[in-house]
Amino acid sequence: MLASINRNLLKAVMFADGAFSLVAGAGLVVFSGQVASLAGPAASPGIVMAIGIFLLGWGIFHLASARPPHPAEHAVRLAIAGDAAWVIGSAVILLVGRDGLSLAGIAAIAVAAVAVFDIMLLKIAGLHRRRAATA
């Protein structure tokens, strides 16, 4: 299985990101009130639900991009840009809105940002590998 993932890192990462985004998005939509109350007063149920709906769309985009044997470069670049925007947005929220967040909210945003950053690095590595293999 690892050999298969290594052969097509981009496909595996795009698929995994899509599946995780769908599950996380569904969880945020269904449990928006509970998540908002844990995150602190700055996180309303509406904001949490909006993030969940975004993640559902993000997941569908990733799964659709992972369907071909080799994900299109423009789709991977868009995914990388979206990941970078997520990480930067998370940093801004942690700097500007931390007073309205609970410790659990701060931790959740920070952990998610680190995870997204790691996934972004895997996408970049996969794109570089594919370019090197075709050069």
The model's pLDDT over 91-115, given as tens digits with 9 standing for 90+, comes to: 999 999 889 999 999 999 999 999 9
And the tokens for 111?
Answer: 């952990």
Task: Give residue limits of the domains in the chain.
Answer: 2-134
With cut-offs at 50, 70 and 90, classify the pLDDT of residue 68. very high
- Convert the pLDDT of each residue in 9-25 to its tens digit: 999 999 999 999 999 99
Range 107-116, long-range pairs (CB < 8 A, 24+ positions): 108/38, 108/39, 112/86, 113/86, 113/87, 116/83, 116/86, 116/87, 116/90
Lowest mean pLDDT among 38-42, 87-91, 130-134: 130-134
Residue among 134, 92, 126, 128 nearest 9 (CA): 126
> How many residues are given for the chain?
135
pTM: 0.90
C-alpha to C-alpha distance for 112 and 127, rounded to whole angstroms: 22
Concatenate the DSSP letters of all residues of 24-50 into one string: HHHHHHHTHHHHHHHH-TTS-HHHHHH
